[in-house]
Structure 1
Amino acid sequence: MTHRLTAAQRAIWSMQEDDPASPLWNLGGYLEIEGPLDLDRFARAVHRAVIEAESPAVRFEAGDDGPRQVVTRPRTWPMPLVDTTAEPDPRAAAETVMLARLDRPMPLFDGPLCQETLFRVAPGRHLWFRKVHHLVLDAYGSVLIGRRIADLYAAPNSAPPSNFPPVAEVLADESGYEASARAAVDREYWLRRFSEPYQAVNLAGRVPAPPYRRALRRSCYLPPNAQTSAKALGASLPAIMTALLAHYLSRRTGAPEVIIQLPVTGRLGPLARRATAVLANRVPVRVSVPPTAGPFDLVPQVVRELRACLRHQRYRVEDLLRDASGAVPFLGPKVNVWVRGYDMALAGSPVLERNLNNGPVTDLSVIIYPEPDQRGLRVHMDANPDLYRPEDLETHLRHLVRPLADRS
């Protein structure tokens, strides 16, 4: 049976069609597994979870009204093992292979669009690499599947039944929302929030334009007090980082008001929160920056704004860009914080995540999550290389995290 695409999938499909040879919609990273790993048992757990979730194994075909997705039940799910232990730097060798694979486009009509590989980098240490097109999984769905795989690996014969809703149920839920009074309320909120014109600003001083190339990246660690500071301010780390970026962007550009993009799951309600189908969205966080405000003075405003944005997160950002009649021509830089991530164990040990590619970066993106070396929260600043130079990123990243360091 074939199904329509989710609204999020339709948006991604449209952007991929604009640049068919681009590999930037390949999402990729790996989880480091330390401890003895039963490879056959692990492969069976992955295969079973894929079938239960449905999303990773969907294939696409052309329909009279556009692309359609077909749920498949593959008899096997490849899990090749690549051994790099003989290399001088086994991890670096494995990452080189991963990055090369992420640079290869995935034909949309010739799936599967989710590929798993295990790299052995030392005795009792593996890197579980996933290359997936954003059309079949978003970050939230990928985490749900990862946790299910951990459960199935730990107890293959006694794990509780899967609670993933079928793709058909997710689509029915989305259709119900789109026709609901709740959707009308969400639309009204966003159109009211952007009823006044907004002038686009970013740190480059120029508006990005496609096609996009692989992002530049510069990284550092957040100061150890980052999460403590967030608690002391009564705010989440995403709120703190949004306030810091808004303040920095305003001071660099002179703009009294800025917009920061915040990726959201697009999942409200019990069914959507169990869904692995692609539902992710972005919300524009509109922040006023008074001339005398310090970076942490913006936190209460950002907290209020985020609460409102999250209540209305199912309204698609693509619809806002269309319905606001040009009032939001460009959404600006982005903050993406994953403090917990996969939060699971395999082979008796916690797994640790390393991100390699997070999709296209139109302007600038700040990504925060725990790194495998356990030194704390890592900050990646990814940027469009047509707008920024490496030295620009180093400057911006240093100034962005400085207020947190100054609070310690």
Structure 2
Amino acid sequence: MSTAPSYAPLTQSQLLIWTGQELDPEAPHYNMALLWDIRGKVDAGAFSRAFRELVQSSDALRTVFEVREGLPAQRVLPEAPAPLERLELPDAGAVRSWALERCRQPFRLDLCCYDSALIRVSDQRWFWFLNQHHLITDAWGVAVLYHAQLERYRRLTCRSTNEPKPLPPFADYRRYEQRFRQSPTFAQTQSHWNSQAESLPPPPKLYGRSPRHARPAASRHSLDLGPDRSARLRTLLAEPDLHTLTPDLSLFTTFATLLFAFLAKTGAREDLSIGTPVHNRPTPAFKNTPGLFVEFFPLRAQVRAEDSLGALYQHVRSAYLEFLRHARPGASNPALHRSFNAVLNYIHAAFEPFDGLPTRSEWLHPGSVDPHHHLRLHVHDFDRQGSIQLHFDLNAEVFPEALRPEVPLHFLRLLDAFLEDRSRPLRSIGLLDFETWAEKTFPTPPPPPAPEKSLFQLPEFEGWAQDPALRCGDRQWTYGELEAFSRALAARLRALGVGAGQVVGVHLRRCLELPGVLYGVWRSGAAFLPLPADQPPGRLSTILQDARPAALIASAELAAALEPP
């Protein structure tokens, strides 16, 4: 007689990811795929048997997700839901093409949440592909599985007589979180984050762009800092004013500092928050458990143009230590996740050489990200080569194609400034020249020549981007926001064929955007024709008939009242 399946609720982090997946069921943005390039002979039979044992020993790998009575639930299958596939491909390029295509396939969460293959190129070159849905793993969990697979393989090939250690069940963590969520400490933690959610600043408009409803399409752009620059950074972080509790914590604080500075310069905002994970593995057993433990919370910082990178580092370090006091299991929520559009994912997990053979890992990108995350920065040195790797996952709607390769280089300017002289004020660190920024952000046909000087004599973007420029009621724009708005509008007008010698009608009430519209029209090379909002529609239609503007900029309300000329 068969036993009825046993279902369990999701952890809070699982619930947030499951909800995100349900909103876009066919998108692979929660696929986590690694490809290991192993140089040397691999016993394929032993590898396959080790993988079967691995899946059987890990409840996370055998977990599937279903909807029960309207709510998501998870259950652990008694047997492995899928075998290790074995393939043979002609060369490394064919393997990588196959793996990139494979990692973009969505999972059927009710059937199996992993996909794995051992690929032979020659007797002396093999690849291991492992793709998991984020619901059952995080980066540390991948490293746990890698080590567990290696242990089992070494025993089966008689390289080791040690019996592999059993993997602790993820169900233990799920029960741990459930108990914590019923404690008085959790109530205090939840109150803290609910209060934070109400006061956090809106996400910045990166490079002046913030689509209302971004789609998940994204691309990854990587930057290898190289052994020399990485070593210089680690040496610098040993200095007394930068040294933190651990080298990893010092590196995290550095990249958080640089990301805040990057957002301030490209988003023209002082008050900022980023999303960053806590690992939720406080015990040795949890450190050896595969599964999804991490949760993302907002880290907030104030970035002022007169501050130096060194001063910002101190501020971020203090903010992060306070952040850690409240980042507790099960406390993340959707409101907190909506408060940031940039994520820093610092990963200190690593992969040892497989069975002593030269091994290189590659984290594959599925071409999709959570659409709320416009920029994700991943930092790691998976292979412990001494060279820090940066991956920038960039939303395709926020970052035009021509701009994407430039983003890592802009970030690198800040890193090099930190290495060279961290006492320099932020305002003095040039990130990019504004003309280049506009061309990359809003690619348009070549515009007609325009004066280099601003009609309104705006200060330079780099120096004054965060200073107030306009105020209307309780709303305010900085010079950076005014510059971004006007340049975007000018680019849009040029794309429509509007330029020198033409007229653009402007039919708006007094509002914060009005000066930006006038400035944007001027920047396009056209002349603006004011159409006062207090004039009768008939008179305005006559003016439009006489002037025949190339374009009309009007609010929906006023445009609807105009009579056809």
TM (norm. structure 2) is: 0.65
Shift of 1:76: 8.0
1:346 aligned partner: 354
Residue pair 2:115, 2:131 contacting (<8 A) in 1 also: yes
Provide the rounded CA distance (Å) in 1 between the counterparts of 2:386 and 2:346.
16
Provide the rounded CA distance (Å) in 2 between the counterparts of 1:388 and 1:15.
22
- For residues 317-341 of structure 1, give each alpha carbon's deviation from its aligned partner in whole angstroms, at most 9, with x where no partner exists: 652617xxxxx843131112224x3
- The residue type equivalent to 2:23 in the other structure is D
Q: How does 1:131-280 map to 2 (within 5 A)?
A: 131-156=131-156, 158-160=161-163, 162-194=165-197, 196-207=199-210, 212-222=215-225, 223-224=229-230, 225-232=232-239, 233-235=242-244, 236-280=250-294
Shift of 1:227: 2.6
Provide the rounded CA distance (Å) in 1 between the counterparts of 2:311 and 2:123.
50
Provide the rounded CA distance (Å) in 2 between the counterparts of 1:94 and 1:32.
10
Shift of 1:94: 0.8
Residue pair 1:47, 1:76 contacting (<8 A) in 2 also: no
What is the root-mean-square deviation of aligned Cα atoms in Å? 2.7
Provide the rounded CA distance (Å) in 2 between the counterparts of 1:121 and 1:209.
46
Larger radius of gyration: 2
Shift of 1:177: 0.9
Provide the rounded CA distance (Å) in 1 between the counterparts of 2:357 and 2:177.
37
Which one of the candidate residues 367, 391, 397 is aligned to 1:380? Answer: 391
1:332 aligned partner: 341
1:310 aligned partner: 324
Shift of 1:342: 2.9
Provide the rounded CA distance (Å) in 1 between the counterparts of 2:79 and 2:73.
18
1:283 aligned partner: 297
Residue pair 1:118, 1:128 contacting (<8 A) in 2 also: yes
Provide the rounded CA distance (Å) in 1 between the counterparts of 2:288 and 2:326.
19
1:7 aligned partner: 12
Q: How does 1:61-72 map to 2 (within 5 A)?
A: 61-72=66-77
2:102 aligned partner: 101
1:120 aligned partner: 120
1:40 correspondence with 2:45: yes
1:83 aligned partner: 88
Residue pair 1:23, 1:104 contacting (<8 A) in 2 also: yes
- The residue type equivalent to 1:334 in the other structure is V
Shift of 1:372: 6.5
Provide the rounded CA distance (Å) in 1 between the counterparts of 2:154 and 2:330.
38
Alpha carbons of 1:122 and 1:287: their partners in 2 closer, same or farther (altered >3 Å)? farther
Alpha carbons of 1:240 and 1:146: their partners in 2 closer, same or farther (altered >3 Å)? same
Unaligned runs of 5+ in 1: 323-327
Shift of 1:169: 2.4
Aligned length: 397
TM (norm. structure 1) is: 0.87
1:22 correspondence with 2:27: yes
- The residue type equivalent to 1:143 in the other structure is A
The higher-RCO structure (CA 8 Å, 6+ apart) is 1
Residue pair 2:30, 2:369 contacting (<8 A) in 1 also: yes
2:488 aligned partner: none
- The residue type equivalent to 1:402 in the other structure is R
Provide the rounded CA distance (Å) in 1 between the counterparts of 2:109 and 2:73.
11
Residue pair 2:219, 2:365 contacting (<8 A) in 1 also: no
Shift of 1:37: 1.3
Residue pair 2:200, 2:273 contacting (<8 A) in 1 also: no
1:325 aligned partner: none
Provide the rounded CA distance (Å) in 2 between the counterparts of 1:259 and 1:197.
7
- For residues 67-88 of structure 1, give each alpha carbon's deviation from its aligned partner in whole angstroms, at most 9, with x where no partner exists: 322212326852222222x3xx
2:374 aligned partner: 363
- For residues 338-396 of structure 1, give each alpha carbon's deviation from its aligned partner in whole angstroms, at most 9, with x where no partner exists: 24x33323221364321112762421011122377958222221111011123323333
Alpha carbons of 1:23 and 1:70: their partners in 2 closer, same or farther (altered >3 Å)? same
Q: Secondary structure at the match of 1:182?
A: helix
- The residue type equivalent to 1:330 in the other structure is S
Alpha carbons of 1:19 and 1:329: their partners in 2 closer, same or farther (altered >3 Å)? closer
Provide the rounded CA distance (Å) in 1 between the counterparts of 2:181 and 2:58.
23
Residue pair 1:354, 1:372 contacting (<8 A) in 2 also: no
Provide the rounded CA distance (Å) in 2 between the counterparts of 1:122 and 1:228.
41
Comparing 394-403 and 15-24, the one that deviates more? 394-403
Alpha carbons of 1:336 and 1:208: their partners in 2 closer, same or farther (altered >3 Å)? farther
Provide the rounded CA distance (Å) in 2 between the counterparts of 1:35 and 1:321.
49
Comparing 353-362 and 4-13, the one that deviates more? 353-362
Alpha carbons of 1:336 and 1:231: their partners in 2 closer, same or farther (altered >3 Å)? farther
Provide the rounded CA distance (Å) in 2 between the counterparts of 1:37 and 1:357.
26
- The residue type equivalent to 1:137 in the other structure is T
Shift of 1:194: 4.9
2:520 aligned partner: none
Unaligned runs of 5+ in 2: 1-5, 245-249, 421-565
- For residues 278-311 of structure 1, give each alpha carbon's deviation from its aligned partner in whole angstroms, at most 9, with x where no partner exists: 2221121101112211223211221222222233
Alpha carbons of 1:135 and 1:320: their partners in 2 closer, same or farther (altered >3 Å)? closer
Provide the rounded CA distance (Å) in 2 between the counterparts of 1:76 and 1:112.
6
Residue pair 1:50, 1:145 contacting (<8 A) in 2 also: no
Shift of 1:141: 1.7
